[in-house]
Structure 1
Amino acid sequence: MKYGYARVSTSEQDHAGQVDALKSAGAVKVFSEKISGVLAVRPQLARAIAALDPGDVLIVTRIDRLARSSRDLLNIVHQIEKKKATFRSLAEPWANTDTPQASAMLTILAAVAQLERAFILARTKDGRDRAKTLGRKFGPKYKLNQEQITHAIDLQREGRGLREIATLLGCHASTVSRTLQRHKPEEEEIA
C-alpha cells in the first residue's frame, strides 16, 4: 500500500497541490499537516509511519517536506525501514529506498551527518575548554551565597534543623542539606 505525507509550514499555506501529486502517484491515504518542519514532533508524520506495514511505501513530493536536515532524513528513513517499508520522493528519485543507488546515497549522507556531528562536538569541546581557561564555571548556579552558607553552617552547629535553617534563609530544606554536604568542615569528613 502507498501512503503519502504532505506538509506546509504555516496555516496560510495550502498543501492541496502536494496532496494531488501524492494521490496521482498512487497514495491511497495522505497524511497532511500545517506545522513547521523545525518542530521535531509532527503528529501526522508519526501517524503515517505507524500506519506502514511491511512492503508499504511512504511518498512525499520533496524531501524538504519530510525532513529538516540530513540527520532528520536519516532518522525518519530508519524508522520507515524498521517497519520493513520503503520511502519515495517524487522530486528526488535518488533518495528512493527501493533502489541500490538510494542505499548508497543514504550511506553517504549518513557518513556526512556523522562527520558533521563530530565537528560540532569538537567545536563545542574547544569552546568549553577555552571558556574554562578564562575562568567560566559550568553547572548549576548555587542558590545560596557565601554569607548564607556560613550562616547555615553556624546555625547547624547551634543544633538547628534543616527546615528551620531553610526557613531563615528563604530556601528549601534540600538546598540547605546539599549546601551543608558540600561545605562540611574537614575534621568532620575525616571522622
Structure 2
Amino acid sequence: MIIGYARVSSTGQDHTTQIERLKAAGAEKVFEEKLSGLDRERPELARALEFAREGDVLVVTKLDRLARSAAHLHEITETLDRKGVGFKVLDDASLDTTTRTGKLVFGILASIAEFETALRKERQMEGIARARAEGRTGGRPKTVDEDHIRELKAGGMSVPQIVKETGVSRAAVYKALSA
C-alpha cells in the first residue's frame, strides 16, 4: 500500500495540491496536518508511521514536508526500515528507498549528515576548550555585582533597600547573599 503524508506549516496554508499529487502517485491513504516542521510532536505523522506495514511505501511530495533536519529524517527512515516500509519523495526521484540506487543515495546522504554532525561537535568542543583555556566559562556574563550586594547588606541595608539601590531583582539579591 502507498501511504501519503502531507503537511503545511500554518493554518493559513493549504495542502490540497500535495494531497492531489500523493493520490496521483497512487496513495490509497493520506495523512495530513497543519503544523510546523520544527514541531517534533506531529500526531498525523505518528499515525502514518504506526499505520504503515511491511511492504508499504510512505510517500511525501518534498523532503521538507517530512523532516526539518537530517537527524530527524534519519530517525524516521530508521523506523520505516525496521518495519520494512519503503520511503519515496516525489520531487526527488533519487530519494526512493524501494530501489537499490535510492537506498545507496539515501545511505550516502545519511553518512554525510552524520559526518557533518560529528565535525560540528568536534569544532564546538575545540571552541569550548579554547574558551576555558582563556578563562571564559561560557554562559551569560554576570550583571550582578555580588560583592557590592554583600557589602550593602553588611552595612545594614534591608533586601528591599538593596533591590532599590542596585536595580536587580529580589531573587538576584538573595542569590548573591547565599553565595
TM over 0.5: yes
Asked whether 1:135 is paired with 2:135, we answer yes
- Alignment match, 1:85: 85
Counterpart contact for 2:131–2:138, Cα < 8 Å: no
SS at match of 1:95: coil
- Alignment match, 1:7: 7
Which amino acid in 2 is paired with 1:55? G
CA distance in structure 2 between the aligned counterparts of 1:118 and 1:27, rounded to whole angstroms: 37
Which amino acid in 2 is paired with 1:13? Q
How far 1:138 moved relative to its partner?
6.0
- TM-score of the pair, normalised by structure 1: 0.70
- Give unpaired runs (5+ residues) of structure 1: 140-144, 148-169, 180-191
Asked whether 1:125 is paired with 2:132, we answer no
Which amino acid in 1 is paired with 2:103? S
- Alignment match, 1:20: 20
Off by >6 Å, runs of 4+ in structure 1: none
Which amino acid in 1 is paired with 2:106? L
Which amino acid in 2 is paired with 1:64? D
CA distance in structure 2 between the aligned counterparts of 1:52 and 1:66, rounded to whole angstroms: 15
SS at match of 2:94: helix
Counterpart contact for 1:74–1:106, Cα < 8 Å: no
Asked whether 1:62 is paired with 2:62, we answer yes
Q: For each residue in 1:110-147, what CA deviation from the matched residue of structure 2 results, as whole angstroms up to 9, or x when unmatched? A: 210111011111111011112211223369xxxxx897
How far 1:80 moved relative to its partner?
0.8
How far 1:69 moved relative to its partner?
2.6
Which amino acid in 2 is paired with 1:24? A
CA distance in structure 2 between the aligned counterparts of 1:39 and 1:129, rounded to whole angstroms: 33
Q: Which piece of structure 1 moves more, 43-52 or 63-72?
A: 63-72
Matches within 5 A, 1:1-191: 1-137=1-137
How far 1:60 moved relative to its partner?
0.7
How far 1:70 moved relative to its partner?
2.7
Which amino acid in 2 is paired with 1:22? L
Which amino acid in 1 is paired with 2:26? G
The structure number with the bigger radius of gyration is 1
CA distance in structure 2 between the aligned counterparts of 1:125 and 1:102, rounded to whole angstroms: 35
SS at match of 1:75: helix
Which amino acid in 2 is paired with 1:20? E
- Give unpaired runs (5+ residues) of structure 2: 140-145, 151-173
Q: For each residue in 1:26-47, what CA deviation from the matched residue of structure 2 results, as whole angstroms up to 9, or x when unmatched? A: 2111111111112222221111
CA distance in structure 2 between the aligned counterparts of 1:2 and 1:89, rounded to whole angstroms: 12
- TM-score of the pair, normalised by structure 2: 0.74
SS at match of 1:129: helix
SS at match of 2:53: coil
The alignment covers a number of residue pairs equal to: 154
CA distance in structure 1 between the aligned counterparts of 2:95 and 2:73, rounded to whole angstroms: 10
